[in-house]
Amino acid sequence: MFTASNDSRVEKDIAEDISFIVEAIKAEGLNYDAIYLVGSFGRSEGTAHFDGDRWRGLNDYDLLIISSGEVWDEDALKKLRHQLSQTLRVDFVDIGCLPRSTLRHLSPSIANYDLKNASLRLAGHDVLEDIPEFDVKDIPAFEFAQLICNRIAGILSTKLPLSTRSPQYCANQYVKACIAVGDVVVYLGKHYHPSYEDRKKMFMSLAKERQMPFFLSDTAIAFVISAYEKKLSHDAQKGFGIDDGVLRDMMRSAFLAIAARCLGKKVDSVRVASKALTKHYCNHRSFSERVDDLLCVWMHSDKSRASAMRYRILFSLPTVYVECPSTTFRRWFSYASRYWLIPGALNKSADLTSVVRLWEEYCH
């Protein structure tokens, strides 16, 4: 029901976790129309690991609350997410919230397509008919550029002191990064599909028929296939190792390929692609919207609306990961030139920790 394991012990433990989360949401006492389980566990492809006591979800559980009217307080949700992740001993419990009135206005995206077509209702009544019908071909390339950047943030987070003490966390980030490369191949070569299993089959078909939309070495192709298989396995105790140089090449190739689709032209440099994507998507917003973005940030109000800042941080990540300047001055200058507009950024040390924290604050 929640994983691809077909193991009743795994399903029982994961079901108990999901039930615990739902009851905790209900205990908050706020009105909702429905609660959905999304992500891999919502489509019966979640990954679990045995910690010596019981089976636990690997990395995160993703839930979405469809509220009756009001938007739930973000601070309260943040506190609930943290409490649940600590109690259930998983990296994250991601709980989102949408007013039901917004469903009929949702645009094509990976998350919205998956909610409509690959989610599990846990409580309340079904409201998914309110969401427009999306064709997978309507999902824009931006979604996959964002996916690659987010996965690079995950790779960078493995360098943080706390993460380096968790081989399991690091291995999971490498798996997710390799899958993202495969997903870009599948999107460009065929089309998106919510199922890991189906995406793996489409990736293998493209590789076998030599119809890859961008170059990946045989070694990289093997890593992508292995990552899909790892994600579909319930035996998550074995690590997933990959040479950092190979992974950098894979992420560079995928990023440049999806950037070319977004921009409508080939780009040879990661740095140039990063700047072009930031400019491209910021220019899609009206002048008044861009002013609102800056005011939101500088007045410390709704950071989720600050698209300009989010794009600046998000699309800088491939350059940070691929180039990684070595000397202290070059590292500081590279950091300062990218993030000088962001309040408080220059008060932080110019290192990967600061970059990841900025991503978590504005993009995650």
Q: In this predicted model, which residue has the larger pLDDT, 288 or 246?
A: 246
Residue 284 has pLDDT above 70, yes or no: no
Instruction: For residues 91 and 250, give the distance between their C-alpha atoms in angstroms, rounded to a whole number.
Output: 25
Q: In this predicted structure, what is the pLDDT of residue 287?
A: 47
Q: In this structure, which long-range contacts are made by residues 82-90, counting pairs with CB atoms below 8 Å and at least 24 apart in sequence?
A: 83/24, 84/20, 84/21, 84/24, 85/60, 87/20, 88/17, 88/20, 88/21, 88/56, 88/57, 88/61, 89/51, 89/56, 90/17, 90/56, 90/57, 90/58, 90/59, 90/60, 90/61
Instruction: For residues 63 and 41, give the distance between their C-alpha atoms in angstroms, rounded to a whole number.
Output: 10
Residue 24 has pLDDT above 50, yes or no: yes
Over range 251-276, report the average pLDDT: 96
CATH number at 8-135 = 3.30.460
Instruction: For residues 170 and 154, give the distance between their C-alpha atoms in angstroms, rounded to a whole number.
Output: 9
- Among 163-167, 184-188, 314-318, name the one with the lowest average pLDDT: 163-167
Residue 335 near residue 355 (C-beta atoms within 8 A): yes
User: pLDDT tens digit string along 334-361?
Assistant: 888 888 888 888 888 888 889 998 998 8
Say whether 47 sits in a helix, a strand or coil: coil
Q: In this predicted structure, what is the pLDDT of residue 140?
A: 96
Instruction: For residues 184 and 143, give the distance between their C-alpha atoms in angstroms, rounded to a whole number.
Output: 10
What Rg value do the Cα atoms of the chain yield, rounded?
A: 20
CB count within 10 Å of CB 70 equals 10
Q: In this predicted structure, what is the pLDDT of residue 163?
A: 60
Question: Which tokens sit at 201?
Answer: 């089959």
Residue 302 has pLDDT above 60, yes or no: no
User: What one-character-per-residue DSSP string does 242-265 give?
Assistant: --HHHHHHHHHHHHHHHHHHHHTS
Placement of tokens 């296939």 in the chain: 225
What are the residue ranges spanned by the domains of the chain? 8-135, 142-362
Nearest one of 128, 125, 114 to 38, comparing CA atoms: 114
Share of the chain residues as helix, strand and coil, in percent rounded to the nearest 5:
60, 10, 30
Residue 77 has pLDDT above 90, yes or no: no
Question: Residue 293 is inside which H or E element, if any?
Answer: helix 287-298
Nearest one of 25, 58, 55, 22 to 39, comparing CA atoms: 58
Mean pLDDT taken over the chain: 88
Instruction: For residues 196 and 350, give the distance between their C-alpha atoms in angstroms, rounded to a whole number.
Output: 37
Residue 159 near residue 202 (C-beta atoms within 8 A): no
Q: Above pLDDT 70, what percent of the chain?
A: 91
Helix ranges (DSSP H) in 133-236: 142-157, 161-164, 167-189, 196-208, 218-232
Q: Above pLDDT 90, what percent of the chain?
A: 62
Q: 276: pLDDT confidence band, cut at 50, 70 and 90?
A: very high
E-state strands within the chain: 32-38, 48-50, 55-57, 60-67, 92-99, 120-124
Structure-derived torsion over alpha carbons of residues 9, 15, 16, 21, reported in degrees to the nearest 10: 150
Structure-derived torsion over alpha carbons of residues 151, 155, 157, 159, reported in degrees to the nearest 10: -170
Say whether 223 sits in a helix, a strand or coil: helix
Task: Give ∠ CA 204-135-198 in degrees, rounded to 5.
Answer: 20
Residue 69 has pLDDT above 80, yes or no: no
Residue 111 near residue 140 (C-beta atoms within 8 A): no
Q: In this predicted model, which residue has the larger pLDDT, 12 or 361?
A: 12
Nearest one of 310, 256, 319, 244 to 282, comparing CA atoms: 310
Q: In this predicted structure, what is the pLDDT of residue 306?
A: 57
Instruction: For residues 320 and 355, give the distance between their C-alpha atoms in angstroms, rounded to a whole number.
Output: 9
